[in-house]
Amino acid sequence: MTVTKQSYTIWFSQRTGSTLLNRALASTGVAGDPSEWLHMDHADPAAFTREQLEERWKCGTTPNGVFGLKIGFEQRWIDAFRVMFELPPHASRAEVWSTAFPNCSKHIYMTRRNKVRLAVSWWRAIVSGEWHREFGQAPKEHDIADRYKYDAIHHLIFESSMREAAIEDFFSESDIVPLTIVYEDFIQDYEGTVRRVLEFLEVPADDVTIAPPSLDKLADEVAEEWVQRFREESQKEWEVKSW
């Protein structure tokens, strides 16, 4: 029987490379499988059971006892776990989380510097339905050039910022210092970033093999046109443009 000895959580907002990191870590065989376990089977936090949680532990734990998961911050899960484990109101959110996921002392925070590109990538995924592309797979044909929408991209910039603010507030509340992974750096140094995560998790990794990137970039000429159009439209009334 696999026993969870150590847990860690990857906290992310959309389009920050979390799936790429998830797959890379899972490929090592020593860092758990940090998938979105709480979203499996469209689980409802209010109806979630201890048996379902224990099943997630089994799914995400490698034979060495390391469990991982990734999630965007959702208060509803913390509320559900507080009830599940009958924890008092004064217990911090981090205490609730570490009760649900034993020995969860390690936290990884994924972010992206350029929020305009993040939001354009997010909007492109929404209108095209293509959220990921397997490495080497031919691009899908999309007729989305006319699907640009300023208000939607503007909203997604704000939404990503609010999601990150929620994660950062969670960290600050409990003096958690996460390992921060920046998307732009990650894609420039894929293997080095994965090894930095393994070191942070204190997982022996001298003989570990890391699978090559499993996903291709989705950014294309349409996405770049949208980035530049949004940049220009956002600053058209500015005397001094920032970008």
Q: What type of residue is 178?
A: P
Give the long-range contacts of residues 52-59, CB within 8 A, separation 24 or more.
53/84, 53/100, 57/4, 57/101, 58/2, 59/33, 59/35
Residue 193 to residue 133: CA distance in whole angstroms: 21
CA torsion, ordered 205, 206, 211, 215, to nearest 10 deg: 60
Residue 221 to residue 144: CA distance in whole angstroms: 11
Q: Return the residue matching tokens 């799914």.
A: 59
Q: Return the residue matching tokens 């970033």.
A: 193
Instruction: Say if CB 66 and CB 30 are below 8 A apart.
Output: yes
Active site residue 36: yes
**Which has the closest alpha carbon to 18: 3, 4, 39, 2?**
39
**Residue 169 CB: number of other CB atoms within 10 A?**
11
Q: Which of 36, 95, 130, 168 is catalytic?
A: 36
Just list the catalytic residues: 36
